[in-house]
Structure 1
Amino acid sequence: MFWLLFSIFLTACIAAGSTGGLFSPGPWYRNLAKPSWTPPDWVFPVVWTTLYLCMATAGARVAMLPDNGVAMAFWALQVALNSLWTPVFFGLKKIKLGMVVLTALWLSVAATMVALWQVDMVSGMLFIPYLIWVSIAGALNASVWRLNPDEAKQASAPAP
């Protein structure tokens, strides 16, 4: 049963991650000013693959346990917000709105971690690296916003 549930949760993670292929960074992002501590491009797929495996494992473990409703609801919320950031930031080129989505994602990941922990400590612990990475992503998004004020204003302006 675990492997079936793991496959379902992993499919949800892969679906969220597929937005990266649909809305890749491209020249717009490459031309933005970024902080010196921006991770190299190769880090992102390695980290996200690891995180998606942890997320799927945590979801599958808790899905098999009683009293998992709140944890499963938060798990669904965080994966939905996870899939939203890339189209907002890279697709729409909305730096400030991307920060709003990332803030909501951070809150949902933290809430998911706590809810998972209450049902299964290991599952909650599997979300710690995810919360750390979303914190780094939030700091990066905020830095890009700060370093590119004209781009943030231009991308936020309504179309003529």
Structure 2
Amino acid sequence: MFILYFLIFFSACVAAGATGGMFPPGQWYRDLRKPSWTPPNWLFPVAWTTLYVCMSWAGARAAVAGDASLALALWGLQIAINTLWTPVFFGLRRLRAGMVVLSALWVAVAATMLALWYVDTWAGVLFVPYLVWVSVAAALNWSVLQLNPETANNPPPIEI
């Protein structure tokens, strides 16, 4: 049963991750000023694949643990918010709205991590790297916002 739960959670993660293919960064993003500590492009798919496996494993552990209603509800909330960021930031090119989504995601991930920890310590531990990565993403989003006030005030048109 654990593997079935893992595959269900992983399917939710794959759906969230698919937005990266639907809304690729594109030239407008490459043209933005970014901080010197911006991770290299190759790291993003590696990090997200690893995180999605950890998130799915954590969700499956909680699903078989019992008394995990809150943790599982929060897991659903965080993956829903996770799914929003790419279309908002890369699709709509809204730097400020992306920051709002990331702020909500950080809170949802932190709450999920704590709720998972309560149900199953290892499930909570598996969410720690995700919270770290979302923290880095939020700092990067904030830095890009600060370094590109003209784009934040006047988002470029979307090519269709």
* TM bucket normalised to smaller: over 0.9
Amino acid aligned to 1:85: W
Is residue 19 from structure 1 mapped to residue 22 from structure 2 by the alignment?
no
Amino acid aligned to 1:107: V
Q: How does 1:34-113 map to 2 (within 5 A)?
A: 34-113=34-113
In 2, Cα distance between equivalents of 1:49 and 1:91: 21
Aligned to 1:144: 144
Which TM-score applies when normalising by structure 2? 0.97
Deviations, residues 18-70 of structure 1 (Å, cap 9, x unaligned) = 00000000001000000000000000000000000000000001011211000
In 2, Cα distance between equivalents of 1:155 and 1:78: 26
Deviations, residues 80-127 of structure 1 (Å, cap 9, x unaligned) = 010100000000000000000000000000000000000000000000
In 1, Cα distance between equivalents of 2:90 and 2:146: 17
Unaligned runs of 5+ in 2: none
**How much does 1:155 deviate?**
1.8
Which TM-score applies when normalising by structure 1? 0.97
Amino acid aligned to 2:54: C
Runs of 4+, deviation exceeding 6 Å: none
CA RMSD of aligned residues (A): 1.1
Unaligned runs of 5+ in 1: none
Aligned to 1:9: 9
Q: Percent identity?
A: 63
**3-state DSSP of counterpart to 2:154:** helix
